[in-house]
Amino acid sequence: MKYRWYAIGVMFVIIVGIFFLSPSRQQSPQTVSVVASIYPYGFLAQAIGADDIVVSVIVPPGAEAHDFEPSPKDIAKLEEADVVIANGAGIEPWLDEVQKTRSRLQKPTLIMAPDAVDPHVWLDPNTMKRFAAILSDELSRVDPQRASVYAQRTVVLQKQLTALDARMKQTLSNCEYTSAIVAHDAFGYFGRAYDIKLIPIAGISHEDEPSAKKIAELIDLIRSNQIHAVYFESYADPTLSQTLVEETGVISLPLDPAETISDDDSATTNYLTIMEENRKQLQKGLVCQ
Ligand SMILES: [Zn+2]
């Protein structure tokens, strides 16, 4: 009898010991799920959450971001996620419905630019720094045990964004040209941040095609020697930019609005490398020192 009580006592100590020493007890009970609407927010979440969270992006690599239609499975994922991070300003036509369901479940949705007319807010690195802080706070609210690692990674990311901004300012402050033509109206915030004018062929979305009159005006502008380069995008129809290049003989270069990432290079490419490549392409096209 005495032996039996002793054995039970030992078992109890072992079980309690396993419970207290187990690493899973020292961490949050489950992994936080984050769903981002478009690539730039997937990048932010990955940079801040790293392996401590599970991130998915609704617009998949290689797909066009404007007016993307999520599947019923995507909608379910959005409704159930611990954190949803979206842009607003019309780039996610499905957002209102998802937000309604999430409010019913008392799950907030992070919407970074709810009132903007132009959705392309992520192209200003300083705005991304602000968004990083907002996302870090939300991750810490949902998963308070990891608050300090989220905060540390946010500081690292913000330093990288500050460095990107400084390089961009330095490059773009001393150029022969201050204007260029771009495929669609994605670079408004970017242009204002660096005091350059990136005049679009198409509108806010790729579908807003220009009139013949607009094309004629762009050709006149190039011929008046104010433009040295026409930028194209991987996800836009190249016909109109090719027409401008053929008509005027200006140079043609790529510029990436970082709305989505290509399937082939998703392992080596991220928001920071895309923006760095944009800086080099702008240096060529605006003839900067
Ligand atoms: Zn766009």
Q: Which amino acid is at 178?
A: T
**185 CA distance to ligand 1 middle (Å):** 7
Q: How far is the CA of 118 from the centre of ligand 1 (A)?
A: 9
* Average model confidence (pLDDT) across the chain: 90
Q: Report the distance separating Cα 201 and Cα 214, nearest Å.
A: 8
* Distance in Å, CA 274 to ligand 1 centroid: 15
Distance from the alpha carbon of residue 64 to the mean position of ligand 1, in angstroms: 9
pLDDT at 19 over 60: no
DSSP state at residue 209? P
SS3 217: helix
Summarize pLDDT for 102-159 with one digit per residue, the tens: 999 999 999 999 999 999 999 999 999 999 999 999 999 999 999 999 999 999 999 9
Q: In what order do the strands lie in the sheet with 179-182?
A: 197-200, 179-182, 229-232, 251-254
Outline where DSSP puts E strands in 153-272. 179-182, 197-200, 229-232, 251-254
236 CA from centroid of ligand 1 (Å): 10
User: For 44-80, how does the pLDDT look when each residue is reduced to its tens digit (9 = 90+)?
Assistant: 999 999 999 999 999 999 888 997 999 999 999 999 9
Report how far ligand 1's centroid is from the alpha carbon of 202 (Å): 10
Chain segment 42-51, per-residue pLDDT in tens: 999 999 999 9
**Cross-strand partners of 34:** 55, 83
Give the model confidence (pLDDT) of 202-249 as tens digits: 998 887 888 899 999 999 999 998 899 999 998 778 888 999 999 999
- C-alpha 98 – ligand 1 centre gap (Å): 22
User: Which domains does the chain possess?
Assistant: 29-168 (3.40.50.1980), 170-285 (3.40.50.1980)
